[in-house]
Each structure stands twice: as C-alpha cells, then as structure tokens.
Amino acid sequence: MEESKKEEFELIPVTPLRKLEKKIEELEKRTGYNNTEIYRELVSIIRMNQEIVDALIKANDSLRIELSKLPLKIEELTKKIEELIELIKAAGEEEEETKTTIEIKPLVEKIEKLAEINNKILETNESLLSLMEQVSKKLTKPSVPTPPVPLRPPISQQKIG
C-alpha cells in the first residue's frame, strides 16, 4: 500500500507508450548486438519519449487553462443557484398568499354577512330604544284629569220596576 501511495499518476496517451514497450521488447529479444542499430533504437526511443513529454506538456497546459476557468464558472453557478433559490422562495410565498386568500375568502364573506346582520340588529335596537323612551315619557307625564265616569248609578236612584 505504501508503494501505491508514492506513485504518481497522470493522464497520457497510451499509444506512444505501447510503441515504446514494443521497441524495448524487440531490443531485448535480439541476440546479436550491433552498436549502430542499438543507437538507432535508442534515438527512436528518445524521440518517442520526447513525443510523450510534449503530449504531457500540452495536456498539462490545457488542464491549467481549464482549471483557471473553473473558479469563474463556479462563481457564476453559485450566483445562478442563489437566483434560483430566490425565485423558488418568491414562488412559495406567492403560492402561500394565494392559498391563504382562497382559504380565507369564504370566512371573509361570512364575516361580512354577520356584520350586515349586526347592523340590522343595531338599527332595530335603536328604534326599540327610541320607542321605549317615548313610552316612558308618556307614562311619566302627568295625565289631564278627567272626571270619573260612574259606571252605574247609585242604588237609590235606580228605578224599581
């Protein structure tokens, strides 16, 4: 495990590495060593190695460029997410208000009817109060004395007959 932690990994094209491996295998399989041929093979191996290094440099540069763009894109994404959250909150509040208005509307109508009934009762009570005041005034007002009307004449005055 410690060995794998120490190893470094990079993304590189596999084809040049395969060619390099084949060349090395060919060199190992040959029994006779010809110096000029070995030098040629070494030069071709060095060239392939240089191609791999160039490809790595290009990949590294493009990776740096893309990584340098990343913070700006993350910032833009964060702003857009915040805007989305604000829109969701606003829509939720609007829906809540609409829902509340729909639920309260029947209650408001009933309260308005009750207010109308209360106004009618108030008017009736006021008219009853004024009538009671008038009756009270009539009862407390001294009445004009009227001579008493005899209901029957006295017995002595009655004719028997």
Residue range 123-153, pLDDT digits in tens:
988 888 888 888 888 887 765 556 665 566 5
Q: Which long-range contacts (C-beta less than 8 Å, at least 24 apart) are formed by 70-77?
A: none
Instruction: Grade residue 1 by pLDDT with cuts at 50, 70 and 90.
Output: very low
% of the chain exceeding 90 in pLDDT:
14
- SS3 track for the chain: CHHHHHCCCCCCCHHHHHHHHHHHHHHHHCCCCCHHHHHHHHHHHHHHHHHHHHHHHHHHHHHHHHHHHHHHHHHHHHHHHHHHHHHHHHHHHHHHHHHHHHHHHHHHHHHHHHHHHHHHHHHHHHHHHHHHHHHHHHHHCCCCCCCCCCCCCCHHHCCCC
pTM, entire model: 0.35
Mean pLDDT of the chain: 79
The encoded tokens of residue 79 equal 């702003």
Least confident of 19-33, 35-49, 105-119: 19-33
Rounded-to-integer distance, Cα 52 and Cα 43, Å: 14
Residue range 51-94, pLDDT digits in tens:
888 988 998 998 899 888 888 999 999 999 999 999 988 888 88
Which carries the bigger pLDDT value, residue 46 or residue 100?
46
